[in-house]
Structure 1
């Protein structure tokens, strides 16, 4: 039996040439991706407060930075975390809804300017929001004089600004996915007396849930990492987001605390990771397959 196993075992060079090199590349990519995360975790557990002392991983392990993170009245991390969660989820849900409505209209309806409108949405996204920062600031300042609840230094106003850029790439992604859903489903529903609203909410949305999950995840991650607009519109520390608030720990040269900053970054990563695990089965599933029998 040992002779049979030896006979069927491939030589190492042949194995490495056919499949082994893929394992090496995969291990290198995983190491390259995981090392920054491990380094940040090590820095968050090092109470020294500098990155120089964190070069040697996990030489000192302490939770002092995490405790100090929630004991700073001038830097309310708990409020930042809650603000980011509320703003991110609101903007993500609104982006998915607006993008899905626009994608359904472009995919299922035929009207003048349909193709031009779809291309325009994509082209507008090529210009960074930084170019419109002054216009956004002046617009929010003017709106705040009439409606303070959605004006400058308001979280609702920041969500409205994010939703203003919700269309574009998201709509284009959903538009391609909506086209994969056979229109025979719509026709069968119309025969039964269903209108566009009923078809959209009860039939189409469940079938395109994978792309909805992807767009929701991308929108949330983009909102969590957005810094420029949030730093300009939100001036009150109690209303700021994590991206803006965490910058305070390292913005001043005389009071930099990289350990507390790393601890805040580690806790901030919980939101996108939790959402990814929650939506994973929708992202990897193919609900459209077999929808038409």
Structure 2
């Protein structure tokens, strides 16, 4: 029998093990200047960006823990630590402002998701006259910022207060109604692209089984588009949470202020501003947004990309 017969070869060779080589082994690892040219500079850029992002956060945290209440006294980071500013916050109305902001943002986010999902479902599943024109109109209207209508909104709510005081000027429901009025536009387009990724055969199969349009929408479509619903709700929450111009135009009493208006009042007088309180309020105000991102991060990437690559 031949010596090179594959049936008599060693088991390791038949299993696919690499045969020993007589020549030198090629080392593909990057070393020296080549490593710095292809990989090392990225580490340097990453470290610089991290330091650039963390330094302002550390400065604000140091200012919030500084009992002197001045920014110049916080130049030496964490030279003095006290939680007096955080305690003082809740004697200045910060707690009521936080509740107002959370109520406005949560209701607006839920309303935005429901309105946008209903509109996107109609545009995605039905064919009707004026469909393309309506989609284009929503996009064009959204190109103009809502603050351009601040005077008109003020006068409208001022007159509406005599008829429906709940939705009039200086009312939280009125502010929510204004936010929901500009909630379609881009959100509808974002949801529309994602709704198109859901096969229409699912709708047809459910309709054959006797499901109504409402049952198809709530029990079949909505669970399948959860990622984009979460993204739209998160974006709506964040944009409303930090919105100042419209809120300051509509809300006028201290007990109905949002966090953005209340914190601005503290920082508006640059000479006598309580910067320690302002920094402490900014630290606490950032916590809800951070928690939302940590809790919903698994949906964010998929929700933002799926509708654009599968439409």
Query: Structure 1 length normalisation: TM-score?
Result: 0.90
In the alignment, the residues of structure 2 paired with residue 189 and residue 260 of structure 1 have an alpha-carbon distance, to the nearest angstrom, of 57
Shift of 1:80: 0.2
* Larger Rg belongs to: 2
Shift of 1:167: 0.4
- Given the superposition, is the C-alpha separation of residues 93 and 18 from structure 1 closer, same or farther in structure 2, using an over 3 Å criterion? same
In the alignment, the residues of structure 2 paired with residue 130 and residue 8 of structure 1 have an alpha-carbon distance, to the nearest angstrom, of 58
CA RMSD for the aligned pairs?
A: 2.1
Q: 1:11 and 2:31 equivalent? A: yes
Shift of 1:71: 2.0
In the alignment, the residues of structure 2 paired with residue 204 and residue 29 of structure 1 have an alpha-carbon distance, to the nearest angstrom, of 41
Q: 1:226 and 2:246 equivalent? A: no
Counterpart of 1:247 in 2: which secondary structure?
A: helix
Correspondence for 2:47: 27
Structure 2: state its 5+ residue gaps: 1-23
Correspondence for 1:43: 63
Q: More displaced, 41-50 or 156-165?
A: 41-50
Q: Among 272, 285, 288, which residue is 1:255 paired with? A: 272
Matches within 5 A, 1:47-126: 47-72=67-92, 76-126=93-143
Shift of 1:284: 4.5
Correspondence for 1:205: 222
Correspondence for 2:7: none
Shift of 1:265: 0.6
Q: Among 155, 160, 166, which residue is 2:177 paired with? A: 160
Shift of 1:170: 0.8
Q: Among 203, 222, 234, which residue is 1:186 paired with? A: 203
Shift of 1:8: 6.1
Q: How many residues align?
A: 282
Counterpart of 1:62 in 2: which secondary structure?
A: coil
Q: 1:169 and 2:189 equivalent? A: no
Query: Structure 2 length normalisation: TM-score?
Result: 0.85
Shift of 1:280: 2.1
Shift of 1:285: 5.3
- Residues 228-271 of structure 1 deviation map (CA, whole Å, 9 limit, x = unaligned): 11111111111110000111112234531111001001100111
In the alignment, the residues of structure 2 paired with residue 23 and residue 213 of structure 1 have an alpha-carbon distance, to the nearest angstrom, of 33
In the alignment, the residues of structure 2 paired with residue 112 and residue 40 of structure 1 have an alpha-carbon distance, to the nearest angstrom, of 55
Correspondence for 2:255: 238
- Residues 32-71 of structure 1 deviation map (CA, whole Å, 9 limit, x = unaligned): 2222222211111112222222222222221111111112
In the alignment, the residues of structure 2 paired with residue 9 and residue 110 of structure 1 have an alpha-carbon distance, to the nearest angstrom, of 58
Shift of 1:168: 0.6
In the alignment, the residues of structure 1 paired with residue 111 and residue 146 of structure 2 have an alpha-carbon distance, to the nearest angstrom, of 18
Shift of 1:26: 2.5
In the alignment, the residues of structure 2 paired with residue 178 and residue 258 of structure 1 have an alpha-carbon distance, to the nearest angstrom, of 47
In the alignment, the residues of structure 2 paired with residue 200 and residue 12 of structure 1 have an alpha-carbon distance, to the nearest angstrom, of 60
- Residues 81-137 of structure 1 deviation map (CA, whole Å, 9 limit, x = unaligned): 011111110001101111111111111111111111111111111111121001101
Q: Among 260, 264, 271, which residue is 2:288 paired with? A: 271
In the alignment, the residues of structure 1 paired with residue 126 and residue 104 of structure 2 have an alpha-carbon distance, to the nearest angstrom, of 32
Counterpart of 1:100 in 2: which secondary structure?
A: helix
Counterpart of 2:299 in 1: which secondary structure?
A: helix
In the alignment, the residues of structure 1 paired with residue 181 and residue 151 of structure 2 have an alpha-carbon distance, to the nearest angstrom, of 15
Shift of 1:12: 2.8
